Amino acid sequence: MSITVTILGNSSAKPTATGHPSAQVVNINEQLFLVDAGEGVQRQMARCGISALKLRAVFISHLHGDHLYGLFPLLSTLGLYGRRTPLRIYAPRPFGEMLEGFMRLFEKDLPYTPEWVEVDTTKHRIIFENDTTEVWSLPLRHRIPTAGYLFRQKEPPLNVSKYCIERYGLSVSQIVAAKRGEDIELESGEILPNDKITYRPYGTLSYAYCSDTNYSARLARMVEGVDLLYHEATYAAAEKRLAKERGHSTTADAAKVAEMAGAEKLLIGHFSSRYKDLQQLLDESRAIFPNTDIARERERFTIEPKRHDKS
């Protein structure tokens, strides 16, 4: 029940000789989500051994090309692969117009349906949910409407302690009731509080993707306690004024958000092409938030849940 993030691209604005624009694949409970789709995304997925056919959904942060230009070729390739199930694409307005133009001009006969779900970049709310996972939108501060995404595992069902089952001779019906969260009344009249006989088998995990944005204390509050935080760090700390003007963050900004949020680990990326050596950027972030790493291309970052055993 881990979460694994595969970095497909970490450069800003344009591809470089050594880097690709923003794109990641988030694997939660073997559900694959593509987050942003910069140029070359499908080649990067192939290099990382990730099947595009397994994508559950796509989340686009905003409609700048370095986060989007790789999506439409990928949609075409999925048609060549024979995808049949609809693919939901979560993105701000006016993505629907772009998708309609692409379908009308290039792909009238795709064997599946790309479905646009509009993301309100001013709201912090659940936009995707199933039995095990929920995804929240995160309002960001960029030059155009932009949203980050917070991925959260839902709490697993309750387990009943084997020790309690044996000690109190619990019946099948009592065990089922306990798993529903109910207190249990024994034949003697004794009441067993539910929290004394049940437990969650493992803790839940969370991952936040915060792309292009100015520093935001509000964002830090929205991702409070996150296990793994990706936050753009386009510029070195000395370029604070430039970062603010262009709707971006510095290494120090990213580290401050992680520190304020109480994050477990920080990944920084979306680097300006002016930086040939990323060690300086890493050192600046680590000076404020020590558990920082570079979101290097083709690397995987995995966070594991804490197991709870009360057998």
Whole-number Å distance between alpha carbons of 121 and 144? 10
Strands (E), 43-93: 55-59, 87-91
- Nearest Cα to Cα of residue 138 among 230, 65, 50, 55: 230
183 flagged as catalytic = no
Q: Is the peptide bond before 73 cis (omega within 30 degrees of 0)?
A: no
Which single residue is written with the structure tokens 């387990």? 159
Give dist(CA 300, CA 8) in Å, integer.
9
| CB of 146 closer than 8 Å to CB of 174 | no
Q: Would you call 132 exposed, middle or buried from its count of C-beta atoms within 10 A (0-12, 13-18, 19+)?
A: middle
**Residue 87 CA: distances (Å) to CA of 111, 114, 175, 202, 265:** 11, 5, 39, 30, 31
H or E element, residue 179: helix 172-179
DSSP state at residue 13: S
The tokens for 122 are 């001013």
One of 36, 66, 212, 253 is an active-site residue; which one?
Answer: 66
Please give, one letter per residue, the 3-state secondary structure of 151-203.
Answer: EEECCCCCEECHHHHHHHCCCHHHHHHHHCCCCEECCCCCEECHHHHEECCEC
**Residues taking part in catalysis:** 66
